């Protein structure tokens, strides 16, 4: 039997079974004074159209190509793609200087023509359009590539090069390094237990109710027990499903609801457009059954104490292992307590109806 440890007071390490790694948790450090870098909070006024934006409907992009007058989601091949189809076959197996070619494609997905509406400000119908686009792009690229990565970088602090709400989808002919490690971990767990690691994890989190942020019939959001980032969350399907392309219309609709709720809670936490990197992960597109996989999405937000203080992965994190101050349980409680109505929608309602 493990001895009792107050995890909100004492340093301890937590195991991440998805990546076979440990995370150092130091809850007492959350009290230390901050005199480091302060980020500029993104509290910009909502603008429907920006004539200088490369992604707005009808505008010219940096490549010189012109966007159509799109009215819903809009997808195009990245003008500065990280992956290319036209790469010669090459492999050097050198033990110290190994190198091999990789083929793939990179696309951009504009969520809507509205220049300032990120996911929490879109309607459920508009979010469903985004989900349907994720599904259709994954299906199309999955016919040619083993791995399809849908993701979004939101906010300047996360390296987003354009404020118009958008995401990306990259596809390649091999599994990336982190995915390979996750595939190994999921497979080993399934071989030992005959069940999905993530579905078992969902049941354990539901039984404990310590790290749940929100859930509905089909989906659950938790701050994972092994979270690295202060307000990191894991969005997991509560039913057996391996790929985003396998979602039914009903499941996609309930996903739109949980996405809007989670992202509203994020923005409401520090009353700002909450930055993050998020991405979907499911089974590879290799025409094989993968009962070890359960579809899920990671959200990695960098903010720590406020809209202007962020977490940095430096020093010990880069040289030894990830470390966090606020415990996952404390983070989950803060997020769960946030309102389900976006703070800007509340402000707009108050101004419209002269509520003070």
The string of pLDDT tens digits covering residues 122-151 is: 999 999 999 999 999 999 999 999 999 999
Is residue 37 predicted with pLDDT exceeding 70?
no
**By C-alpha distance, which of 173, 152, 146 is closest to 89?**
173
Give me the domain span that covers residue 61.
15-28+42-352
Give the chain's domain count: 1
Q: Write the CA distances from 48 to 65, 165, 275, integer angstroms.
A: 21, 11, 20
Domain membership of residue 6 (yes or no) is: no
pLDDT in tens, 261-318: 999 999 999 999 999 999 999 999 999 999 999 999 999 999 988 888 888 888 999 9
Query: At 243, which CATH number?
Result: 3.30.428.10
- As a 3-state breakdown, the chain gives helix, strand, coil percent values, each rounded to 5, of 30, 20, 50
Strands (E), 239-287: 276-281
pLDDT of residue 306: 87
Residues 6 or more apart in contact with residue 287 via CB below 8 angstroms: none
Q: How far apart are alpha carbons 189 and 204 in whole angstroms?
A: 15
Give the whole-number percent of the chain exceeding pLDDT 90.
Answer: 83
**By C-alpha distance, which of 180, 110, 104 is closest to 142?**
104
Q: Which residues are catalytic?
A: 166
Residue-averaged pLDDT of the chain: 92
DSSP conformation letters of 267-308: HHHHTS---EEEEEE---SSSS--TT---EEEEE--EEEETT
Q: How far apart are alpha carbons 251 and 240 in whole angstroms?
A: 12
For the entire predicted model, the pTM comes to: 0.93
Domain membership of residue 97 (yes or no) is: yes
Domain membership of residue 33 (yes or no) is: no
pLDDT of residue 307: 87
Structure tokens at 131: 């989900």
Domain membership of residue 139 (yes or no) is: yes
């Amino acid at each position: 039997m493990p001895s009792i440890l107050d995890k909100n007071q004492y340093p301890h390490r937590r195991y991440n079974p998805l990546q076979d790694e440990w995370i150092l948790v130091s809850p007492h450090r959350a009290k230390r004074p901050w005199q480091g870098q302060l980020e500029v909070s993104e509290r910009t006024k909502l603008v429907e159209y920006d004539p200088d934006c490369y992604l707005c409907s009808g505008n010219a992009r940096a490549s010189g190509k012109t966007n159509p007058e799109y009215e819903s989601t809009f997808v195009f091949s990245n003008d500065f793609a990280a992956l290319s189809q036209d790469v010669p076959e090459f492999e050097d197996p050198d033990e110290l200087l190994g190198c091999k070619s990789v083929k793939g494609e990179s696309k951009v997905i504009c969520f809507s023509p509205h220049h300032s509406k990120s996911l929490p400000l879109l309607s459920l119908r508009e979010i469903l359009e985004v989900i349907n686009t994720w599904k259709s792009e994954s299906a199309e690229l999955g016919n040619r590539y083993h791995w399809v990565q849908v993701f979004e970088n939101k906010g300047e602090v996360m390296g987003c090069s354009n404020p118009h709400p958008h995401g990306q989808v990259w596809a390649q002919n091999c599994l990336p390094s982190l995915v390979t490690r996750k595939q190994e971990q999921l497979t080993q767990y399934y071989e030992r237990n005959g069940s999905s690691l993530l579905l078992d994890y969902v049941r354990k989190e539901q039984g404990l109710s310590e790290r749940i942020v929100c859930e509905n019939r089909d989906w659950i959001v938790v701050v994972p027990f092994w979270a690295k980032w202060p307000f990191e969350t894991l969005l997991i399907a509560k039913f057996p499903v391996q790929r985003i392309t396998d979602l039914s219309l009903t499941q996609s609709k309930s996903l739109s609801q949980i996405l809007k709720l989670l992202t509203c809670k994020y923005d409401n936490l520090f009353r700002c457009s909450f930055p993050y990197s998020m991405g979907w992960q499911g089974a590879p597109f290799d025409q094989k059954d993968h009962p070890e996989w359960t579809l899920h999405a990671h959200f990695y937000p960098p903010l720590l104490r406020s809209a202007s203080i962020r977490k940095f992965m430096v020093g010990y994190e880069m040289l030894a292992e990830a470390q966090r101050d606020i415990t996952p349980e404390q983070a989950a409680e803060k997020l769960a307590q946030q309102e389900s109505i976006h703070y800007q929608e509340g402000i707009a309602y108050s101004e419209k109806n002269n509520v003070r």
